[in-house]
Amino acid sequence: MLTIDNIKMIQPTVVKQIQSLYSRERIVHAYLFEGDKGTGKSQATQFFIQLLLCEQVVNNEPCGQCRQCRLVTSGNHTNVHHIYPDGATIKIEQVRNLMKEMKMVGMEQGHKFYVIHHADKMNIAAANMLLKFLEEPVGKVTAILLTEQYQAILPTILSRCQHFKFAALPREVIIEQLIEQQITKSMASTVSLLTNNLDEAITLSTNEQFVQMRKTVLHLIGTIQQNVQESLLYIQEAWIPVYKEREDFERALDLLLFAYRDIVALKADIEGTVVAFPDKQAEFENIALNSTYERLSKQMQAILKAREQLHRNMNRSLLMEQLMLNLQEGYAFV
Ligand SMILES: [Zn+2]
């Protein structure tokens, strides 16, 4: 999980916007935090609420230690209410109960907050009820609506909220989060090049066809180093009949391209490069040693050309055969 400390690193713009609102005392009645899963919306919410309730803010940052801060962290602050979808939707009763709570005088003085998680899941009745409340706010109450799909929220609600857009996660953070989900570093490194949506990355990492695709591509690279007959045979067995959908075929070509990009990075010894296939480092270093930049560049161009040909609906067997010949050019004599 992301922590409140790394939210500043991951969403610096959002954090600065929140701090600016706080320092200028411009807190409005409703905010919409929009961003993919895992982009730190909940952590930013906690930061925001703590900042407004903290007893000893320093440099526009909550202390994290005072009673108020601790109550927020533990989820026990009586001024802070959360609602989550009940099954597939957020229902009118949930919003009605929330509004009742908001009107009651709590044990704690000061600002009250309610956080609607997956706000796009509100059904129409619930959304209309919320809208009424947003139109007639009572006292110091602030709503924070969290969503991954703001297009699914009623425009009338959107127009009442100040919109905060959460940036996509940096690749290193995606890798970290995947590793926390028990996905290997190797797999995490590969999928993080294909998507910066954490959900998609998790799905892909655990998709059997994708796991097999990764193996197929890596095996193919081995055969390309050995002999042309073997790689031609292998594509007829493991590639052509398997990747019938253009999307899959293209993705497999992308993985192949990533592999050659890794080899170039290893050859150039580019520091700090997060490669796509860390599990193949030794093998790729060996290929890098036996290749020239010129050849590697030609190989990458050949893959890009195959990708284009795929889009022009060229015969796929032919396309792959040509690619194998192009990739192998020169190796037979090494
Ligand atoms: Zn505090």
CA of 51 to the centre of ligand 1 (A): 7
- Around ion ligand 1, which residues have CB less than 5 A away? 54, 62-63, 66, 69
* Architecture label for domain 4-168: 3-Layer(aba) Sandwich (3.40)
pLDDT of residue 199: 83
CA of 171 to the centre of ligand 1 (A): 32
pLDDT tens, position by position, 176-197: 989 999 999 999 999 999 998 8
pLDDT of residue 334: 40
Query: CATH 1.20.272.10 in the chain, residues?
Result: 207-329
What DSSP element (H or E) covers 102? helix 92-103
CA of 37 to the centre of ligand 1 (A): 27
* Architecture label for domain 207-329: Up-down Bundle (1.20)
CA of 58 to the centre of ligand 1 (A): 9
Residue 277: exposed, middle, or buried by beta-carbon count in 10 A (0-12, 13-18, 19+)? buried
Answer whether 8's CB lies under 8 Å from 37's CB: no
pLDDT of residue 1: 54
Q: In what order do the strands lie in the sheet with 30-34?
A: 80-83, 112-116, 141-147, 30-34, 162-165
- Dihedral in degrees, nearest 10, Cα atoms 281, 286, 287, 289: 120
CA of 57 to the centre of ligand 1 (A): 6
pLDDT of residue 331: 56
Q: What is the pLDDT tens value at each position of the chain, 334 positions in all?
A: 556 677 888 899 999 999 999 999 888 899 999 999 889 999 999 999 999 999 999 999 999 999 999 999 999 999 999 999 999 999 999 999 998 888 876 556 788 999 999 999 999 999 999 999 898 877 889 999 999 999 999 999 999 999 999 998 889 889 998 999 999 999 999 999 999 888 889 999 999 999 999 999 999 999 998 888 999 999 999 999 999 999 999 999 999 999 999 999 999 987 777 899 999 999 999 999 999 999 999 999 999 999 999 999 999 999 999 999 999 885 544 4
Query: CATH 3.40.50.300 in the chain, residues?
Result: 4-168
pLDDT tens, position by position, 198-247: 888 999 999 999 999 999 999 999 999 888 899 999 999 999 999 999 99
Q: How far apart are CA 263 and CA 285, in angstroms?
A: 7
CA of 71 to the centre of ligand 1 (A): 10
Q: How far apart are CA 123 and CA 200, in angstroms?
A: 25
CA of 118 to the centre of ligand 1 (A): 27
Q: How far apart are CA 99 and CA 84, in angstroms?
A: 15
pLDDT of residue 198: 84
pLDDT of residue 69: 94
